[in-house]
């Protein structure tokens, strides 16, 4: 007798009506376009933007420290503050801007805001969920805060 519920070994059930269809794409369930402005940003751009932000923070930290203190700690703090403030005020970090991306809320067409920006940056900092994505290619920090990183142009 076969089990009705199946097993995690059996994989996804293609007969389910709520499963992904052949014409689905990342972001479709969020109401985002498949390509172009407003579509979800690819992982490669996200990673490059993260490195750009880190190197900018390292440069600012080097100007602050002048060799008297821990460059790593100051870099980390600058990266955290710059990421939080710029996403809150503008909707993008400097790295995201240079690579043509922006952070949006998926539940309303309003700015990200202070609480979501600080929660997003804290999750990104301490948990590193950007490398773990859901079916829509959103990082876990974006999913937890109700945001998405999309192409701006």
Residue 103 per-residue DSSP state: E
- DSSP states along 28-68: GGGT--SSSTTSBPPHHHHHHHHHHHHHHHHHHHHHHHTTS
Residues 41-78 have pLDDT tens digits of 888 888 899 899 999 999 999 998 886 677 888 898 99
**Confidence (pLDDT) at 65:** 86
**Confidence (pLDDT) at 127:** 65
**What is the value of pTM for the model shown?**
0.74
Tell me the pLDDT of the chain (153 aa) as tens digits: 454 554 444 445 444 455 555 567 776 777 777 777 877 888 888 889 989 999 999 999 999 888 667 788 889 899 999 999 999 999 899 999 999 999 988 888 888 889 989 988 888 887 666 667 777 777 778 778 888 888 888
DSSP H or E segment with residue 104:
strand 101-105
**Which residues share a beta bridge with 27?**
none
Is the CB of residue 150 less than 8 Å from the CB of residue 139?
no
């Amino acid at each position: 007798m076969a089990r009705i519920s199946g097993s995690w070994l059996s994989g996804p059930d293609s007969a389910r009506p709520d499963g992904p269809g052949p014409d689905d794409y990342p972001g479709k369930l969020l109401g985002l376009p498949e390509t172009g402005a407003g579509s979800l940003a690819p992982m490669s751009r996200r990673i490059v933007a993260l490195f750009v932000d880190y190197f900018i923070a390292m440069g600012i930290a080097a100007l602050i420290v002048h060799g008297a203190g821990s460059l790593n700690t100051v870099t980390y703090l600058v990266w955290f503050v710059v990421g939080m403030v710029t996403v809150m005020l503008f909707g993008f970090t400097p790295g995201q801007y240079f690579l043509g991306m922006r952070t949006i809320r998926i539940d309303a067409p309003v700015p990200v805001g202070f609480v979501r920006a600080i929660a997003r940056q804290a999750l990104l900092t301490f948990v590193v969920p950007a490398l773990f994505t859901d079916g829509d290619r959103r990082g876990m920090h974006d999913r937890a805060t109700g945001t998405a990183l999309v192409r701006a142009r």
